[in-house]
A and B are shown apart, each in its own frame.
Chain A
Amino acid sequence: MLAFQILIDGFAISALYALGATGFTLIFGVSGVLNLSHGAIMVLAAVAAWAAASVLHVDTYTGALIGVAVALVAAFATYFAVVQPIQKSTRIPNEEKEIFVLTGTLLWGIMIQELIAYFFTNNAKTVLPIIEGVIDILGVRTPRNEIFTAVVCCLVIALLWLMVNRTRTGKAVLAASMNPRGVTLLGLELGSIYVVVWAIYGILAGIAGVLLGMFLGVSSYSVGPLTASAFSIVVLGGLGSVSGSLIAAFVVGYLETLTAYLISPAYRTIPALLLLVAVMYVRPQGLLGRR
């Protein structure tokens, strides 16, 4: 019974982690940007979905769509207002640009976090589940929405895989992540590939944020922990490796769930962080990292 409980809960949370981390790692893989405003964009999506439903009184589906749309806009804003000006700047030496992007996105994330707290308070908000009720799976009373969350996460990741491997745009993105210079030599505009990647990122982060808002709820305090968890999953999986991130998301998700059930919910995140430290010692490039 407890084993099934861990299996089911762990799967839902892992799938959500995977979705959240995929966009994050994709951007790093393609453009070398570590977007530290990631958590803020996820929370923004969830809060927007909440606000649309409870302030503007739209239905749950529309609310969720508004949440994802807001995340998309925020992702573009991050790229055009923060990342691109730094990358194009002639006054910042090239070797320092990465650290400028890190600092810039971190501050951007804090700005979003403070704005959310200012307008919507720092109390937690939850998005109304798309599907209500519970069903019994092998003796475990499972909210239907938890299953919905897991299914949507897997579907979206599968769609992303299809897009990257089967469409022209996707293949260009893949190529850019392998060899940016080669892509430009083939006559593809690197700039437009970046825009596509940020659009994909915005949608992924938006869906992950809204689903998280339904599953557990978010507050402006969640911004830091969400960025940190995506960051550690991506580092564990290997920076820039999407499949590495997927594996790492499930490792971290299940490790946390096991700890919460078998040891104590208070120590939930500790073993995953210890694992991260251990991996850094033994295999600094992460599980599936190339560099």
Chain B
Amino acid sequence: MTKTSLPRVFRSFPGLLGATALGLLATASGQALAADPIKIGVIAEAQAIAGASIPQAAQMAADEINAKGGVDGRKIEIVTYDNHSSSADSVRAFQRAVNEDKVNIVIASYISEVVLALEPWASRLKTPFITPGAASNEISKSVHNDYEKNKYTFHGYLTSAALALSVCDAAKELLVEQKNMKTAVIMSEDAAWTKPLDVGYEECLPKIGLKVIDHIRFSPDTTDFTPIFNKIEGTKPDVMITGISHVGVQPTVQWKNQQVPIPMFGISSQATNSTFGKDTNDASNGVLYQGVSGTGVAVTEKSVPFADGFNKRFGNFPSYAGYTAYDEVYYIADAVKRAGSTDADKLVDALEKTDWVGTIGRVQFYGKDDPFTHSIKYGKGLITGLMLQWQDGKQVAVWPKEVAKGQLKFPSFIKVTSN
């Protein structure tokens, strides 16, 4: 694995200094190449828990494929870049990956803002590109709106619209049917991915029987959530439907410390990390979050072996984007095999025909005529997502029934309507 990163200092001198250093490094790594491997560039947030799993999982998949002889004799080589959660660093890394390191395809980022910044570069440099974790609807809408130009981008994770549907499907069974809940407040951070998510929530929650009585959007920089919880409590909802990713630890800890008596249910990306319990000193107990995977949950027969293998190798369980990145390397390899080439346009054609059972379900992409072109399909038999709950310091699947390992369980300060 060629490990390169753009140190923060260089960001202040983005011109000559960075370019020179990068050029030197690139030459060094360029000379070390074996003959004609399939090169996958992986640009990710190495310092964030969600992002750190991306290059690790990709490397694991590549090693497994290579151990079995590679793709038609060609090895897979992963070239990683740390983007420091910055769009500017990501764009530089993308340019370098394509122009200097000559990668065939790029896997990048779990942050929608970063992915939206990379999308035009995938088009300009005609390099296929898949995100393992961003959610904004705009990613695949752009592909739909200008297919010829943007067809190089693939959305290897659920769109915000699909995430909202997944949350509503779970809420219908768990909250409305089982707990007789009737009202909800939407609580989401102000970011690109939550705009379509909130639209989705507003639309699907009333349909399943949860009346939305308030909608609170807050800055992702928020550190003190007391006023927000206070306002929500004032409207007396049965549940808070969350859309949080940049924040997670702080609202959860304050929710517990202040004993806010309303359950949290929805998207809480940080809660998908296996370290979330430790990071919050177990304040996470009771938090319900949507996921495409979970430790010990056999979504497919590949899920558990992957998570266990990852834990054995890296000492922690993969984040949600780790599962998708692992699958991506596999279906990229599959696409190269079917295309018989790493030519960008042929690879795009082959990727469009993907039908791959990975760790998160059966992966297929929406076509040219669907509104979310190149996003993974949502639905029964494909990918439906899961609802999990932190219980006694562990992540327990509670929905859908086929994979559920436990019932809902809340800390004593939570007042659940039908309990």
Contacts and interface: CB of A to CB of B under 8 A. Distances in A.
Interface in B179-235: 190, 217-219, 221-228, 230
A183 B215 CA distance: 60
A35 B280 CA distance: 30
A266 B224 contact: no
Given A54-B278, A126-B250, A126-B279, A117 B47 contact: yes
B125 interface: no
Nearest to A54: B278
B184 to A, nearest CB: 19
B125 to A, nearest CB: 29
A123 B223 contact: no
Interface residues of A, number: 36
A121 B51 CA distance: 10
B226 A122 contact: no
Most chain A beta-carbon contacts within 10 A, residue among B52, B221, B224, B247:
B224
Contacts of A268: 222, 224
B20 interface: no
Nearest to A114: B8
B49 A265 contact: no
A257 B225 CA distance: 11
B279 A124 contact: yes
Contacts of A219: 249
A5 interface: yes
A266 B226 contact: no
A266 B279 CA distance: 25
Contacts of A128: 281
A129 B49 contact: no
Contacts of A261: 227, 230
A224 B310 CA distance: 34
Contacts of A260: 224, 226-227
Interface string A259-272: 01100011010000
B384 interface: no
A135 to B, nearest CB: 10
Contact of B47 (A110, A121, A145): A121
A123 B249 contact: yes
A148 to B, nearest CB: 11
Contact of A143 (B221, B257, B278): B257
B344 interface: no
A53 interface: yes
Contacts of A53: 281
6 contacts: A54-B281, A123-B279, A124-B247, A125-B249, A222-B223, A260-B227
In the A-B complex, list the 3 residue pairs whose CB atoms are closest, starting with the nearest: A124-B249, A260-B227, A217-B250
Given A126-B249, A268-B224, 14 more contacts: A9-B226, A122-B47, A122-B85, A123-B275, A124-B250, A126-B280, A141-B259, A143-B259, A216-B224, A217-B249, A217-B254, A219-B249, A257-B227, A266-B222
Interface of B: 8, 47-49, 52, 85, 190, 217-219, 221-228, 230, 247-250, 253-254, 257-259, 270, 273, 275, 278-281, 283
